[in-house]
Each structure stands twice: as C-alpha cells, then as structure tokens.
Structure 1
Amino acid sequence: MPLNLGDTFPNFDADALGIEKFNLYDYLGDSWGIMFSHPNDFTPVCTTELAEAARLYKNFRDKNCKLVGFSCNDMNSHKEWAKDIMSYGGSCGDLPYPLVCDPDRKLASSLGIMDPAEKDKAGLPLTCRSVFFINPQKKLAASILYPATTGRSFKEILRVLDSLQLTEKYPVATPVEWIPGGTCCVVPTLSEEEAKTKLPKGHQVQNLPSGKAYLRLTPDPSS
C-alpha cells in the first residue's frame, strides 16, 4: 500500500551492491535517509541520475543523510552497471552508496511504485523514479514520484532535504524558490507573541489587499 506522509517507513532486508546483507534501519541508524528507485540498469537517464547522486554524495553525507538506490535488477546487473555510472560521472572507485536488488519486485510492489506503462524485455513492469525522504524517527517526511521519461534533479533533492531539516527545528516554512539562507515564512500556527521569542531575528508582516496578516517573513533562523 502506498505510504502517506508521516507514516513509518517499512524496514526491510535485501541484497545490495556495497552491503550484501542490507537492512534499512541498521544502515540508516539515527541519520536521515533518502531512498530512490530507478526503472532499469543500463539505461541512459538512470545512468545520469545515479552518477549525479554519486557526485553529490558528500553533500548529503555532510547533512547527516544516507543515500540508498534500488531497482528491480539483480546483483550481477548492479555490479556491471556501477562501473558505467562511475565512469560517466568521471569518478574512480566504487559507487559510494548501496544499490538494493529487488528482482522479485516485492519491495517496489509494497511501496506502490510500479509503472505499468514501463516494462522490461520480459514484459515485467519497472519502477517509477521515486524518492523517499526518511527522517531519523523512520517517518516518511516527503516523497517525489516521476515517470521514467523525466530525470530528477539531485540538487532539488538536496534543497528539499535542507528545507525538511530546517523546518523540523524551527517554526518556519520555506517559500517558492527558497535556498538555504533565504527568507522564510512564519508558520500560521505561531502567534505574534510566540514569534517574538522563537524567532529572535524578527519578522515582517506583508501588507496585502485582503488586510489579513498571514504572510509573515523572517530571515533564515539557522544562518
């Protein structure tokens, strides 16, 4: 059954490139996690995506976040394809994050991310381009679902992670095109008195035609 935001992300055991006996909870520990699926190994868009994830791996690690890739391919396929990924990305060595094997499609089916429009050579359905943001309490904090034809931006995935981590600590929300250090919105549930104590940098109420004081802006409280 597809997961809703706030649901506990299910633990699972699997074989994975990089960690032969992979357990999701053991791997994540107390860190944030981002698990992302791709439709198929040895395909063009997937290769560009996973190479970019490898290139940005240290950026995620520095934010206390661990990456996990997965698809419905087996270990032999992952091993061979990983060489292409690293070569395309201009990097040496092994893929820096585990790549889960789900050849029986049990994990993908349980997460509700099979794409009936995309099939492998045997006619079996492939996974969508999903992204699951898992917080340290193992709750689903955010999710993204793209079709096979649309590659994801891992810089945007980083930005979403920044927003999730900021808004977990402070009573703010991040507006359109926000980047770390940018102006934030004060959450509507925070009273004016609470805002004065919880947001010491202050805030400004925007004058709008409705006369309602709901759009309150404040500097990034973490910077």
Structure 2
Amino acid sequence: MPLIGEEAPSFKAKTTMGTINFPDDYKGKWVILFSHPADFTPVCTTEFITFASMQEEFRKRNCELIGLSIDGLFSHIAWLRTIKEKIVYKDMKGVEVKFPVIEDIKMDVAKKFGMLQPAASDTQAVRAVFIIDPESKIRAILYYPMSNGREVNEIMRLLIALQTSTEHGVATPANWQPGDDVIIPPPGSCGLAQERVEKAGEDYYCLDWFLCFKKLK
C-alpha cells in the first residue's frame, strides 16, 4: 500500500470516460482518486452526486476526480444513468457524472492502492481517498467505513490547504479555512528562535517562538 510522500502507483484502466493511463494522462494536475464499495448503493449514490456537483470547483483548483469500484463498466454506466435520470438528493437533480469511474473487476487498481481491507470486506473497496499532486506524489490519504459517507467539502478544504502549503512553504492550523492565517515553519536554531520573536510585527505574529502566523498576500 502506498504511503504519504511516495509516488502513486501507475495503472491503465477502462473507465466510463474511456481508457486512462495514470499518471501520464494527468501530468501537471492534482488528482483525487477515490473508491466506493459498490454501484447502486445508497451512501455511494449520495457521494457521487455530491462529487459530481462540485467537479467544476475542483477543476478550478487544477484538480481532476477519478472514481473506482470493483464493478464492471456496464454496471457503472447503468448506475450513472440512474443517478442522472431518477435521483434527487438535497435539491441536486439531473446530476451527470462527468469524471471517469474505473472498472476494476480484477481488483488490480484497488490492490495497488490498498483500497481492500479484509476486516471490512474482501470483495468491496472501502471509501478511500488519495490526493495526488502534479508530481504524482501522494499528499494525503483518507479512509472511511462503508457505513458513512465522505464530507466532500472537507476534501476540497484539504486540497486547498495542501496547495497553499506547496505554493507558499507554510503549514495550516486546525480548522483552517481558505483566507485564514497560516503557520510559518518553526526556526531551526536557538538564535533564529529569538530573532523570530523579536522581529514579530506587521508581517507576522507569534504566540511563542515555535508558533508564528502570517497572512498570505
């Protein structure tokens, strides 16, 4: 199973949007690869409607979505048609899933990414989320049980936080939201620690030598 900071496994797979080659088809983009236990299941249906309704927001952040389950292509297609034609969830109606959903009957991709967890099920993927950066490095991994749906807004928040850290060389505190102050990396020596506190002012402020914040311009 790949870990945070490691290169994401490569794969070629059939999807509802044609064959994809990962990571070659996604060079220069962030990717959210997420698995669901099965098509035509209630929790997964609400998740896919929500992800699909936010797809353009993810794309504005240079991020593409890829779904996966251990179901066949025809099952995926039938399920996505049902979602578009019949399901209304939280005032979301006629939602078309325009991101690829991987056919993974042989579990090849699911096994590469550790999406199968035998204590939960050895025939269905758990609700895994992998956030992968433009260098094909895994930046975050989330796991949810089969019984509980994902908070897609939190996945978006985490994506923006990771992009902010990458672009500005900062960290984000607990409950951080876009626009909030960010954390400056702690100093690496006693001298720098003292200097950091003494020079705090308009550009940044410190709660202590190791905990300093600033606003992004």
TM-score (norm 2): 0.87
Q: Select the residue among 138, 141, 165 that pairs with 1:140.
A: 138
2:26 is matched with which residue? 28
Unpaired runs of 5+ residues, structure 1, are: 208-212
Number of equivalent positions: 208
The question of 1:216 aligning with 2:212 is answered yes
Q: Distance in 2 between matches of 1:81 and 1:106?
A: 22
Contact kept, 8 Å, 1:117 with 1:125, in 2: the verdict is: no
Structure 2 counterpart of 1:170, one-letter code: H
Q: Distance in 2 between matches of 1:61 and 1:189?
A: 35
Change (3 A) 1:71 1:201: farther
Structure 1 runs (4+) deviating above 4 angstroms are: 189-195
2:117 is matched with which residue? 115
Contact kept, 8 Å, 1:204 with 1:218, in 2: the verdict is: yes
Moved more, 104-113 or 182-191: 182-191
Provide, for residues 63-90 of structure 1, a one-character-per-residue CA deviation record: whole Å limited to 9, x for no partner. Answer: 0000000110000100010023334353
The question of 1:85 aligning with 2:57 is answered no
Moved more, 128-137 or 168-177: 168-177
Cα drift, residue 61 of structure 1: 0.3
Change (3 A) 1:85 1:188: farther
Contact kept, 8 Å, 1:34 with 1:133, in 2: the verdict is: yes
1:161 is matched with which residue? 159
Change (3 A) 1:189 1:138: farther
Q: Distance in 1 between matches of 2:187 and 2:44?
A: 41
**SS at 1:8's partner residue?**
coil
1:131 is matched with which residue? 129
Q: Distance in 1 between matches of 2:7 and 2:195?
A: 30
Q: Distance in 2 between matches of 1:72 and 1:95?
A: 18
**SS at 1:27's partner residue?**
helix
Structure 2 counterpart of 1:203, one-letter code: Y
Q: Select the residue among 185, 188, 191 that pairs with 1:187.
A: 185
Percent identity reads 32
Q: How does 1:195-210 map to 2 (within 5 A)?
A: 202-207=203-208
Cα drift, residue 145 of structure 1: 0.8
Provide, for residues 193-219 of structure 1, a one-character-per-residue CA deviation record: whole Å limited to 9, x for no partner. Answer: 997xxxx96111115xxxxx1111111
Q: Distance in 2 between matches of 1:55 and 1:70?
A: 17
Provide, for residues 10-69 of structure 1, a one-character-per-residue CA deviation record: whole Å limited to 9, x for no partner. Answer: 111111001x22212233121111100001110000000010000000100000000000
Unpaired runs of 5+ residues, structure 2, are: none
Structure 2 counterpart of 1:184, one-letter code: V
RMSD over aligned CA atoms reads 2.4
Structure 1 counterpart of 2:107, one-letter code: R
**SS at 1:141's partner residue?**
strand
